């Protein structure tokens, strides 16, 4: 089904209500997603991006009901990842001569995925194609979030096709941002930024500055996942500017796993201490063995400080804690405080291990951390409350 976006611009993508895992099992999609593809039907016709591979046949069949495929003059592949390029093999079977516009890295990536030699036309920032009275302008966006990523901009209608940037994994019936539940929408936007774009924050700031410097009017942002931003599209750009700049709210997240509940008790005592020292702080606790990892990462992203707890096992930490610390390390959060804690019975390396990992991940780590021998007794519990208070003070600085 084609949905009109503006004038001769049509959404021809696929809404995937069922998806619950993306990037293999790396990203949870509690609210599904969409693969947004756009048809621009001016004097010339351009097709911008396609859909994920499992929907390739359905997509091409539907597209053929919307337009005689031989009338597609240009195919634009803003990004080669399979969720956007997945229908290209089926499409290009039907229109083998159509030029495929993408970046030089896009050519490499598309050839690498599909081992086909389509009529590739590599483009750079500032290159244009004429659709008649309007033009598509290409803007490379390397590492937002792959080396091949690019945006394109439609003159006249003032539409930015931003691919993954400004998107969310969020299936909606309304397609446009003004028709979506704002709480759900922004929850998915921040989760997407936190889990996918955080490491590229310096490039986000640079790319937005570059786009602003082009002085192109902006009426609509057509992303490749989730809603189309037609109501005040700058609102998501402004959020990105904030999120890319060492973002933190007045929140502290306590992440832990526990074997016999000792480390859980410490986590709860520390939360009590934080709130005693600073009632304005929102504190949340997450058992990382039982909480969705992407939701945990989103909370880390929003927090000014995190406390991470694990009992000692095999001279290290529980595997769930190691896994979330590994993910935190890769995301390169900036400007956040941290502290390690945990119970032990024999050798007791977990806290040192956690603090070392947090330090390597770029956190400002409170020295020493907090250790409790065996199951925390009354003194240990009181000490844990005091440690929570100290951490709240540490996070004020």
Query: Which residues of the chain form contacts with ligand FEO (CB under 6 A)?
Result: 79, 81, 83-84, 145-146, 164, 224-225
If the CB atoms of residues 146 and 200 are measured against ligand FEO, the closer one turns out to be: 146
Annotated catalytic residue, options 59, 101, 140, 145: 145
Helix (H, G, I), strand (E, B) or coil at 234: helix
The question of whether 192 is a catalytic residue gets the answer yes
- In the complex with ligand FEO, the residue whose CB is nearer, 163 or 269, is 163
Q: How far is the CB of 97 from ligand FEO (least distance, A)?
A: 27
CB of 333 to ligand FEO, least distance (A): 21
**Catalytic (active site) residue 79:** yes
Which position among 16, 42, 49, 83 bears the catalytic label?
Answer: 83
**Residue of closest CB approach to ligand FEO:** 81
Taking the C-alpha atoms of residue 177 and residue 231, their distance in angstroms, rounded to an integer, is: 7
* Measured distance CA(45)–CA(61) in Å, rounded: 18
How near is the Cβ of 38 to ligand FEO at its closest, in Å? 14
Cβ atoms 110, 147 nearer than 8 A: no
Cα separation, 64 vs 59, in Å, equals 9
Q: Are 369 and 352 in contact (CB under 8 A)?
A: yes
Which of 60, 55, 44, 47 minimizes the C-alpha distance to 18?
55
Q: How many CB atoms lie within 10 A of CB 136?
A: 24
**Residue of 81, 140, 148, 299 marked catalytic:** 81
Q: Which is nearer to ligand FEO, 145 or 293 (CB)?
A: 145
Using the 8-state DSSP alphabet, how is residue 258 labeled? Answer: -
Rounded to the nearest whole angstrom, what is the least distance from the CB of residue 251 to ligand FEO in the complex? 28
Which candidate in 79, 101, 169, 299 is catalytic? Answer: 79
In the residue annotation, 113 being an active-site residue is answered as no
Residue (23 or 360) nearer to ligand FEO, CB: 23
Closest to ligand FEO by CB, 13 vs 376, is: 13
225 is catalytic: yes
Peptide bond into 271 cis (omega under 30): no
What are residue 75's DSSP bridge partners?
47, 100
Query: Is residue 135 flagged as an active site residue?
Result: no
Find the shortest distance in angstroms from Cβ 16 to ligand FEO: 12
Angle, helix 319-331 to helix 350-360, in steps of 10 degrees: 20
Q: Which residues are known catalytic residues?
A: 23, 79, 81, 83, 145, 164, 192, 225
């Amino acid at each position: 089904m084609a949905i009109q976006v503006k004038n001769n611009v049509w959404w021809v993508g696929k809404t995937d209500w069922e998806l619950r895992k993306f990037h293999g099992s790396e990203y949870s999609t509690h609210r599904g997603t969409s693969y947004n593809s756009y048809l621009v039907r001016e004097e010339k016709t351009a097709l911008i991006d396609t859909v994920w591979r499992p929907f390739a046949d359905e997509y091409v069949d539907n597209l053929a009901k919307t337009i005689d495929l031989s009338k597609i003059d240009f195919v634009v592949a803003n990004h080669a990842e399979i969720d956007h390029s997945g229908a290209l093999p089926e499409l290009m079977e039907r229109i083998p001569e159509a030029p495929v516009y993408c970046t030089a890295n896009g050519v490499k990536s598309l050839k690498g995925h599909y081992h086909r030699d389509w009529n590739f036309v590599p483009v750079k920032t500032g290159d244009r194609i004429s659709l008649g009275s309007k033009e598509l302008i290409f803007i490379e966006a390397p590492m937002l979030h792959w080396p091949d990523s690019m945006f394109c901009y439609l003159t006249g209608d003032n539409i930015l096709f931003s691919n993954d940037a400004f998107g969310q994994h969020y299936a909606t019936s309304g397609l446009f941002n003004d028709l979506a539940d704002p709480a759900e929408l922004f929850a998915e936007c921040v989760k997407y930024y936190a889990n996918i774009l955080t490491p590229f924050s310096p490039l986000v700031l640079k790319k937005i500055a570059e786009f602003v410097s082009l002085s192109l009017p902006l009426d609509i942002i057509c992303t490749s996942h989730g809603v189309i931003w037609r109501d005040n599209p700058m609102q998501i750009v402004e959020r990105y500017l904030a999120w890319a700049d060492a973002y933190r709210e007045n929140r502290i997240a306590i992440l832990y796993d526990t074997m016999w509940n000792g480390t859980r008790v410490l986590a709860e005592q520390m939360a009590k201490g934080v709130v005693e020292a600073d009632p304005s702080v929102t504190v949340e606790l997450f058992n990382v063995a039982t909480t969705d990892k992407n939701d945990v990462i989103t909370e880390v992203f929003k927090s000014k400080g995190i406390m991470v707890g694990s009992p000692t096992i095999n001279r290290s930490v529980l595997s769930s804690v190691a896994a979330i610390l590994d993910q935190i390390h890769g995301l390169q959060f900036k400007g956040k405080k941290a502290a390690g804690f945990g119970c032990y019975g024999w050798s007791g390396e977990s806290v040192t291990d956690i603090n070392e990992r947090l330090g390597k991940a770029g956190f400002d780590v409170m020295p020493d951390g907090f250790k409790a021998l065996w199951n925390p007794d009354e003194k240990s519990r009181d000490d844990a409350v005091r440690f929570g208070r100290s951490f709240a003070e540490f996070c004020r600085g």
